[in-house]
Structure 1
Amino acid sequence: MASVDPKAVLEGRIPGRPPIGLILGLIISSLCALLVLGLTAVFGGPGFELGLLLAILPVPLLVSLILWLDRLEPEPPRDLALAFLWGAGVAVLGALVLNTLGMIYVTVPIFGETKGHFVSAALGAPVIEESLKGAVLFGLLWFRRDEIDGFVDGIVYAALVAIGFAMMENLTYYMRAYEEGGAAQLQGVFILRGIFSPLGHPLFTSMTGLGVAYAATHRGGGRIIAPVAGLLAAMTLHGLWNASTVLGLSGLAIVYLLGFCILVALAVVVLVERRRTVQLINRYLPAYYDTGLVTSQDVWMLARIPARRAARQWARSVGGRPATRAMADYQLAATELVLLHRRAERGTIDPAKYEQRHEALISLMALARQAFLRTPVRPAVPPWAGHEPSGFHPPRI
């Protein structure tokens, strides 16, 4: 597969050209995260090491859960890393500065000490934090729109941003609890934030992710309204959560019930979209039977996650890691191909860009298939190539 750069094809970029903007984003986000950790360690008081350990503890489980949702069409690892580091770095540092300035110069002078802190927590913090977390999602929509193929992608990116943010925020809460009440109070705060509400921030920011995903995959005026509506919904949920702390157990019960309902709704969205992607695989790929790119058995395999995993295991048994990598590239390229057809059908991709990406994906599929089967395939040209009517209307299969 020396003639094709699989990673570049799957990430939708020009081979040989590194994603400079993405790399700069990773560097800046990492530096901001290190700066926050350094400031917290120096000025945050005792309990830094213990608080950091407790803050990190649920992260691997949460990240694994999010990536598990993304198995059918995994996002590029660097994009996922940027989302997490942006939340843990840029968003946290910005929120630390803006929330502090807001309390010092706005809410406390206007409302007084006690009420000012409540207004800041219930109104100021949600607006600032969700805007900063959502900024990277809007950036992905602007610069990496083609990587957002549906609502699941929006949820995945939003959740990773929020997990990174929550990790750093929890560190400060744990340190404050340890300083004020020792191990006993720290234990209570960890149970509340680390065990009973680790999905709080991901649920809030997922609203922004849904809005951004809609804008990336649809045409019309909703492309502008949806991201804004999603961001406002995230702010509202975040504000309700923060305000519930002064309402006692009844307030907490209400927001927990609301969070559970949202979690169920998001699970339904994931299931429905996964079923729709399977339908697209069964709809579009059979047209490539005559090219040698896919067989009916391949379509059956690609539409089932356990079968995909079994295929990679088979490839590893017959060809080692290179064959495994080729099989994974083949599976992802095939999925990207059907999603590309879906974009074309909706009119959300430029015809010239469609042709370029279509050619790259089928070339990658052909070479990957050769690599794990070690047999040549016929020219990877779909039967309708060269017969699209003017106006770019891909065939409905």
Structure 2
Amino acid sequence: MRHAHWWQRSWVRYGALITLLSLSGLVILALVREQTGTEGFLVGLGLAVLPVPLLIAAFRWLDRVEPGPWRNLVFAFAWGACAAALIAIVANSFATRWIATATADPSSADTLGATVIAPIVEESAKAAAVLLVFLFRRRDFTGIVDGVVIAGVTATGFAFTENILYLGTAFGTDQLSGDSGIASVTAATFFVRVIMSPFAHPLFTVLTGIGFGVAALSGNRLRLRHVLLPLSGLLLAMGMHALWNGSSTFGEFGFFAVYGAFMVPAFGLLTWLVVWTRQRELRTVREELPAYTAAGWLSPAEPYALGSMRARRLAREYAQQRLGRPAAQAVAQYEAYATSLAFLRHRGRQGRADADFVVRERELLNELWRRRELARPALDHAAWMTAPPVRVAVPATPWPVYGAVYGTHGMHGAPGPHGMHGAPGPHGVHDPAQGPGPGPGQGYGYGYGYGYGYGYGYPAAQHPSYNPYQS
């Protein structure tokens, strides 16, 4: 048995990442404090933190259908606030000084730095966090909403650090002019950056996240679109960022013209897009899970309840009122696993399933089975409270489900020679009361009532006539 090299071990990677982000945070802290002074840093910190909880809550709300792990969000925020901010402040300062020296024109260097250098450097630095999650947390990155959330949280962290710098510098300017407390320059900076445009950086980087999200919909097999789509999103983010930074050069009212005619409509359009995508995810849950109801894994009311955010909330509240917080957490986990199962099946029916489709499906069903006694009554109650009784419709197109086979006479057959073929069974469905994987003869099959044994003989994914990607 081969052992992983030391640099491939998870604790080594986590340790290196935490060390990198910690060092970046210490360096950026020292740089910002040097430019603003201690008092300016504290004032900037107190003002810059105000929009952060609201933005994080908004992105977490978008992610409620299939919530990703908190560790991804913590990484994204830390990368934006520490690593990306450090890269940006060092690269922007170096590039601006180099241009000023080369052209002997400091004013043009500042304009060029703000409209060209800053958008390229900052958006690239923020996009690195989205790329890392896309590459190394691929199971958590399955669509547009995931890209939007990771990109938005990264940009929120970046804007937090940048606002400390700008607000602290503005406070220092007021102090030099003899004003006491928070005066005109600080108030104006706070109004523009925190009140009017707290969504600016998230709006830019979300375009990159959408590019990665659309690429994630194409599956894991490497294609040209996996490069072109994220790159297109990054270029759009850079262009919007450049337009925003350059608005002050468009005349006296250039800033307000760009803000009203471009930024606000773009923000509204993207908000509509991600909310529509969220609703589409809920519809996918309602459409895909009835197949598992027919196989006996879910109760008839669960697909509807799992496809409604209101019903999900009621199910968690019902469990907590009767069995306490651990039961509510079990229901929340059940909802997340069921959603992942629906998305997995949806990708499979569209021909985008990965090689580990069967293994992943079984893992998710096992997780549901472990929590069914707590979650099922709560979800059934929530469905009864929010909708009339739900009819279960078996999908018109046969598609393999773990533990069930759609056939012409029955769904599950008795084990045949070597666990490969079974005759049509009398009940038509695997008995889930035995739990997942009861032994020989549990079939993966489709079409005319053939089951391929799971316990011995051909594994389902290796049988010559089995194709899990074909609907």
Q: State the TM-score, normalized to the length of structure 2.
A: 0.75
Structure 1 CA distance, aligned partners of 2:218 and 2:297?
29
More deviation, 144-153/81-90: 144-153
1:137 match: 130
Q: Whole-Å Cα distance in 2 between the matches of residues 249 and 345 of structure 1?
A: 55
Alignment check: 8 A CA contact 1:326 1:369 kept: no
Q: Is the CA contact 1:108–1:115 (under 8 Å) kept in the aligned structure 2?
A: no
8 A Cα contact 1:22 1:82, kept in partner:
no
Residue 379 (1) aligns with residue 435 (2): yes
The equivalences for 1:183-332 within 5 A come to 183-184=182-183, 185-218=185-218, 220-256=223-259, 257-332=261-336
Match of 1:29 in 2: 21
| Inter-partner Cα distance in structure 1 for 2:206 and 2:348 | 26
Q: What RMSD over aligned residues (CA atoms) do the two structures have, in Å?
A: 2.4
* Distance (Å, rounded) in 1 between the aligned partners of 2:349 and 2:22: 39
Give the distance between the partners of 2:310 and 2:377, measured in 1 at CA: 24
Deviates more, 1:385-394 or 1:362-371: 385-394
Structure 2 CA distance for aligned equivalents of residues 141 and 108 of structure 1: 39
Could you tell me how far apart the structure 2 residues matched to 1:137 and 1:23 are? Answer: 20
- In structure 1, what is the Cα distance between the partners aligned to 2:287 and 2:54? 35
CA pair 124-107 structure 1, distance change in 2 beyond 3 A: farther
Q: What is the CA distance between 1:23 and its match in structure 2?
A: 5.7
Partners of 1:19 and 1:242 in 2: CA distance: 41
Between the aligned partners of 2:344 and 2:103, the Cα distance in structure 1 is: 53
Distance 1:125 1:110, change over 3 A: same
Code of the aligned partner of 1:133: K
- What stretches of structure 2 of length at least 5 have no aligned partner? 1-8, 176-181, 379-431, 447-464
Q: 1:363 aligns with which of 363, 366, 376?
A: 366
| 1:95-174 mapped onto 2 (5 Å cutoff) | 95-110=88-103, 112-174=105-167
| 1:298 CA displacement | 1.3
CA separation of 1:106 and 1:377: change in aligned 2, threshold 3 A:
farther
Paired residues of 1:148 and 1:217 also in contact (CA < 8 A): no
Change (3 A) 1:374 1:279: closer
Question: Partners in 2 of 1:280 and 1:82 — Cα distance?
Answer: 29
Query: What pairs up with 1:10-49 in 2 under 5 angstroms?
Result: 21-22=13-14, 24-45=16-37, 46-49=39-42
1:269 deviates by 1.6
AA partner of residue 363 (structure 1): N
2:337 to 329, 333, 336: 333
Higher deviation after alignment, 200-209 or 293-302:
293-302
TM-aligned CA distance change 1:192 to 1:337, over 3 Å: same
Farther-moved stretch of structure 1 (174-183 vs 234-243): 174-183
Shift of 1:380: 4.2
Letter in 1 for 2:253: S
Q: Partner amino acid for 2:270?
A: L
Higher helix share: 1
Partner deviation per Cα, 1:108-144 (whole Å, 9 max, x = no partner) = 5236100001000100010000000001111122222
Q: Does 1:82 align with 2:75?
A: yes
Distance 1:345 1:20 in 2: 38
- The whole-number CA distance in structure 1 between the counterparts of 2:109 and 2:205 is 25
2:466 is matched with which residue? 390
**Structure 1 residues 346-361: aligned runs within 5 Å:** 346-351=350-355, 353-361=356-364
Contact 1:218–1:346 (8 Å) recurs in 2: no
For structure 1, the 5+ residue unaligned runs are 1-16
With a CA cutoff of 8 Å and minimum separation of 6, indicate the structure with the bigger relative contact order.
1
Q: How many Å apart are 1:170 and its aligned residue? A: 0.6
Read off the aligned partner of 1:199 and give its amino acid letter.
Answer: F
User: Equivalent residue of 1:44, what SS?
Assistant: helix
Q: Is the Cα–Cα contact under 8 Å of residues 319 and 328 in structure 2 kept in the other structure?
A: yes
- Per-residue displacement from partner, 1:183-216 (whole Å, max 9, x unpaired)? 2210110011011010000000011001111111
Counting matched residue pairs gives 377
**CA-CA distance at 1:28 after TM superposition:** 2.3
> SS where residue 294 of structure 1 aligns?
coil
| Superposition deviation, residue 394 in structure 1 | 5.4
Amino acid in structure 2 at the alignment position of 1:89: C
- Residues in 2 aligned to 1:373 and 1:238: alpha-carbon distance in whole angstroms: 48
Q: How much does 1:385 deviate?
A: 4.7
Question: Is the CA contact (8 Å cut-off) linking 2:126 and 2:155 kept in structure 1?
Answer: yes
Cα distance in 2 for residues equivalent to 1:354 and 1:23: 31
More displaced 10-residue stretch of structure 1: 177-186 or 249-258: 249-258
Show CA shifts across 1:231-252 (max 9, x none). Answer: 0001011111111122245322
Is 1:55 matched up with 2:113?
no
Moved more, 61-70 or 115-124: 61-70
Structure 1: distance between partners of 2:351 and 2:21 = 34
Cα distance per residue 1:280-322 (max 9 Å; x no partner): 2122111112444312221121111111011001111222122
Q: Flag the 1:22–1:259 CA change in 2: closer, same or farther, 3 A.
A: farther
> What is the distance in 2 between the residues matched to 1:293 and 1:23?
40
Asked which structure has the greater CA Rg, the reply is 2
